[in-house]
């Protein structure tokens, strides 16, 4: 994967096992703005859940996070951290392969630092997952005059 100078860089100690699907740390470039993305559930622009299933809701929630990042002028590779809240960790583990496929459709091979938390419930009735994120959006570069 080619990385731009303004992409966040994964940080994983060499003596540790390689993490699967996340990075232990992400290093942001010096120039940029920090974007905090509120928790996003798996609903569409009309605030309707895309279905009852975890995988569909996960993919939509992730797409919603990326939409906010893009609106701020960033792209998925500028996301440094995710916190994923699920109402049933067993359901998440059972669907891990399908969730991984959905993740790669939205994020490609960019794996930020992540935490997964099981919660009793989410605010939106029927929501199975909520994802919040932190991104570093690069400072706009001025075009050089020749």
Any domain includes 97: yes
Any domain includes 11: no
pLDDT of residue 134 exceeding 70: yes
Say which CATH number the domain at 92 has: 3.30.1330.40
51-88 pLDDT, tens digit per residue, is 999 999 999 999 999 999 999 999 999 999 999 999 99
14-36 pLDDT, tens digit per residue, is 999 988 888 889 888 878 899 99
Spatial CA neighbour of 71 closest among 109, 113, 40, 47: 40
Any domain includes 6: no
In angstroms, the CA 16 to CA 14 distance is: 6
Query: What does the CA dihedral 97, 100, 116, 127 come to, rounded to 10 degrees?
Result: -90
Contact 43, 49 (CB under 8 A): yes
11, 100, 125, 145 from 95: Cα distances, Å: 27, 9, 21, 52
The tally of domains found in the chain comes to: 1
What pLDDT is stored for residue 31 in this prediction? Answer: 80
In angstroms, the CA 54 to CA 88 distance is: 9
Any domain includes 105: yes
pLDDT of residue 141 exceeding 70: no
103-129 pLDDT, tens digit per residue, is 999 999 999 999 999 999 999 999 999
Look up the domain containing 35 and give its range.
22-137
């Amino acid at each position: 994967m080619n990385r731009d100078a303004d992409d966040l860089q994964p940080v994983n100690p060499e003596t540790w096992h390689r993490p699967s699907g996340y990075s232990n740390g992400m290093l942001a470039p010096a120039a940029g703005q920090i974007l905090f993305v509120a928790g996003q559930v798996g609903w569409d622009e009309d605030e309707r859940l895309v279905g009852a299933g975890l995988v569909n809701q996960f993919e939509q929630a992730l797409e919603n996070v990326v939409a906010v990042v893009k609106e701020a002028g960033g792209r998925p590779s500028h996301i440094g951290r995710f916190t994923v809240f699920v109402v049933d960790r067993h359901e998440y583990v059972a669907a891990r392969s399908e969730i991984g496929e959905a993740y790669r459709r939205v994020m490609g091979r960019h794996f930020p630092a992540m935490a997964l938390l099981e919660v009793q419930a989410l605010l939106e009735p029927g929501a199975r997952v909520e994802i919040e994120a932190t991104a570093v959006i690069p400072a706009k570069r001025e075009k050089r005059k020749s």
